[in-house]
Amino acid sequence: MTVVLAIETSCDETAVAIVNNRKVLSSVVASQIEIHRPYGGVVPEVASRHHLEIINDCIDQALTEAQLTWDDLDGIAATCAPGLVGALLVGVTAAKTLALLYDKPFLGVHHLEGHIYASYLSEPQLQPPFICLLVSGGHTSLIRVKHSGDYETLGSTRDDAAGEAFDKVARLLDLGYPGGPAIDKIAKQGNPKAFPLPEGRISLPGGGYHPYDCSFSGLKTAVLRLVQKLKAEGDDLPVADVAASFQDTVARALTKRAIACALDNNLDRIVVGGGVAANSALRSRLETAAQPHGIRVYFPPLRWCTDNAAMIAAAACDRLSQNQVSALSLGVQSRLDVTDAIALYD
């Protein structure tokens, strides 16, 4: 058994969890949504300050819920890349301090590796190889998971991440922040076929289109022009129809690429991770498209889609079980490809 306490502070959630391999013993998430809502997005300095104010309480609560002491832990982990540097520093500094104080191994975990591991929390028997569709506010990638900790990026966004596009379109439609849940909610009242919108494709130098890469900046611009046109015509803006059309276009683009990627690589499992994995249209469309091909799709429960420390702890448990630990001199990084996650360990 490997028991790890992990801290996640890469953006605007202060999270602490304790996991025994793939069994969650406690999970605490303090969201900052209400703090950042007036600004329409995350303010890095505000996020860092709030992490600092509440992280000790979150750590205490996680230990209390798990009914464990520091002696029961095998390691201390924290997200160290990618993310907001100031926010990451709060979690990593806390984890290093605890590791020194209680003489425990320290592990710096890649945030995207954590999202890959989110599905393991509800499917503990899941094993590679498989394709991971990782879709969040900052990342959209198709990753081939070859073995535990061994990744190959096969496709990614060339501009906006899917979650970022949701936030920007929600702002255009005055739906507030965060955009993903707001669009998903109102889209249920709209017609996804009301407005044809461009899916966004990446041209190849020799002709044709990249089978796995995607682009959402053109889609975002198309929605902007559509909203401007509809407002100029003087009628009430059909917000539900615009939201449903946008959401359906994103889900279609992601589904098409994920299915093609799995088939081309002879893999019959797709694991979805990240905040956009909670989107109802993506869940429905991808599961429906996968069935005729005999592909099984794994979506994490909604609480493991958004940022949390349980997924970070699960990834750290696997690393620690392979005798991989990080140096206390390890720093934080705002950017780091998940294929380089092994560099975080001695």
* Banded pLDDT at 66 (limits 50, 70, 90): very high
pLDDT at 40 (0 to 100)? 83
pLDDT tens for 281-317 read: 999 999 999 999 999 999 999 999 999 999 999 999 9
Cα of first residue to Cα of last residue in the chain, in angstroms, is 22
Check pLDDT > 90 for residue 209.
no
Q: How far apart are CA 46 and CA 32, in angstroms?
A: 9
Check pLDDT > 90 for residue 124.
yes
Q: How far apart are CA 113 and CA 124, in angstroms?
A: 16
Instruction: Judge whether 167 and 181 are in contact, CB under 8 Å.
Output: no
pLDDT tens for 33-47 read: 889 988 888 898 999
Q: Which residues pair with 18 in a beta bridge?
A: 5, 26
Q: How far apart are CA 190 and CA 170, in angstroms?
A: 15
Q: How far apart are CA 9 and CA 50, in angstroms?
A: 10
Q: For 100-106, what is the mean pLDDT?
A: 98
Q: Which fold has domain 3-118+305-344?
A: Nucleotidyltransferase; domain 5 (3.30.420)
Q: How far apart are CA 308 and CA 29, in angstroms?
A: 6
The CATH architecture annotation of domain 128-299 reads: 2-Layer Sandwich (3.30)
Tell me the domain boundaries of the chain. Answer: 3-118+305-344, 128-299
* Banded pLDDT at 87 (limits 50, 70, 90): very high
The amino acid that residue 158 corresponds to is R
Structure tokens at 102: 């209680």
pLDDT tens for 133-159 read: 999 888 899 999 999 899 999 999 999
* Banded pLDDT at 206 (limits 50, 70, 90): confident
pLDDT at 41 (0 to 100)? 84
pLDDT at 236 (0 to 100)? 87
Model confidence, pTM: 0.94
Q: What is the mean pLDDT of the chain?
A: 95
Identify the three-state secondary structure at position 296: strand
Instruction: Judge whether 237 and 245 are in contact, CB under 8 Å.
Output: no
176 or 60: which carries more pLDDT confidence? 60
Check pLDDT > 90 for residue 205.
no
Nearest to 298 by CA among 272, 260, 278: 272
DSSP, res 235: S
Query: What totals of helices (H) and strands (E) does the chain contain, helices first?
Result: 10, 10
